[in-house]
């Protein structure tokens, strides 16, 4: 292969990877600076492209956020749905697996900044809030809600409202990621997040189990 062909191949690969690079850059800035404060020229600079190149792939900053959710977060939701559908075991084991997996892929990573981002920006960008609620929050809650409802039906869990109980299970997780992205750097009382999650699950399931 001559040098011209090699250069063309590299250029083609670079071109094909650009949307992903732009999404990655945008996600980093959204989490670090918030949605409102992030400018597309900053995204372009972080991705190593021109602002015009960003517009070749994405119509707006909102479109870019939707693409980030679709390509980075929703695949994790789909994996969780598949795990739940294929799981053989009791519901406590399933729900524990799902929560710990969520913590590994979301809670411990840069994606943990997205819940805080959505809570802080929802009122200013209601269409994005509705999109995130439908595509991410509702689907994730439905997985947990079904596990709790099945556990009640099978006699594993006490009779409870699956909607309320689902929120009780999720709330401390959201608190942890929001706290870490806001007040934790100023808090002198440190704690182990992994132990926090394990303690939460133990207390929660001891409370609802028959």
Q: Domain containing 7 — which CATH number?
A: 1.10.10.60
pLDDT digits (tens, 9 = 90+) for 41-55: 999 999 999 999 999
Domain boundary among 14, 38, 58: 58
**Would residue 102 count as lying in a domain?**
yes
pLDDT digits (tens, 9 = 90+) for 57-84: 999 999 999 999 999 999 999 999 999 9
| CA–CA distance, 22 with 9 (Å, rounded to integer) | 20
Burial of 131 (0-12, 13-18, 19+ CB in 10 A): middle
Q: Domain containing 203 — which CATH number?
A: 1.10.357.10
pLDDT digits (tens, 9 = 90+) for 136-195: 999 999 999 999 999 999 999 999 999 999 999 999 999 999 999 889 999 999 999 999
pLDDT digits (tens, 9 = 90+) for 102-153: 999 999 898 999 998 999 999 999 999 999 999 999 999 999 999 999 999 9
Burial of 71 (0-12, 13-18, 19+ CB in 10 A): middle
- State percent of the chain over pLDDT 90: 86
Residue 97 and residue 127 in one domain? yes
Q: Name the pTM for this structure.
A: 0.86
From the CB of residue 206, how many other CB atoms can be counted at a distance below 10 Å?
A: 9
| CA–CA distance, 54 with 60 (Å, rounded to integer) | 9
């Amino acid at each position: 292969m001559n040098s011209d062909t090699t250069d063309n191949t590299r250029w083609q690969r670079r071109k094909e990877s650009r949307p992903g690079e732009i999404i990655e850059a945008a996600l980093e800035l959204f989490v670090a600076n918030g949605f409102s404060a992030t400018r597309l020229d900053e995204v372009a600079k972080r991705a190593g492209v021109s602002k015009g190149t960003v517009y070749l792939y994405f119509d707006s900053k909102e479109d870019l956020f939707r693409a980030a959710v679709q390509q980075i977060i929703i695949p994790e939701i789909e994996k969780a749905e598949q795990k739940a559908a294929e799981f053989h075991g009791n519901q406590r084991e399933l729900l524990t697996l799902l929560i710990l997996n969520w913590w590994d892929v979301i809670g411990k990573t840069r994606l943990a900044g997205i819940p805080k981002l959505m809570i802080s920006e929802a009122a200013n960008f209601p269409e994005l809030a509705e999109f995130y609620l439908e595509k991410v929050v509702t689907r994730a809650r439905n997985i947990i809600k079904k596990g709790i409802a099945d556990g009640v039906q099978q006699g594993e869990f006490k009779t409870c409202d699956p909607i309320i109980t689902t929120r009780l299970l999720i709330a401390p997780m959201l608190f942890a990621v929001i706290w870490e992205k806001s007040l934790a750097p100023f808090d002198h009382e440190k704690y182990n997040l992994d132990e926090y999650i394990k303690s939460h699950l133990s207390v929660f399931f001891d409370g609802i189990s028959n």
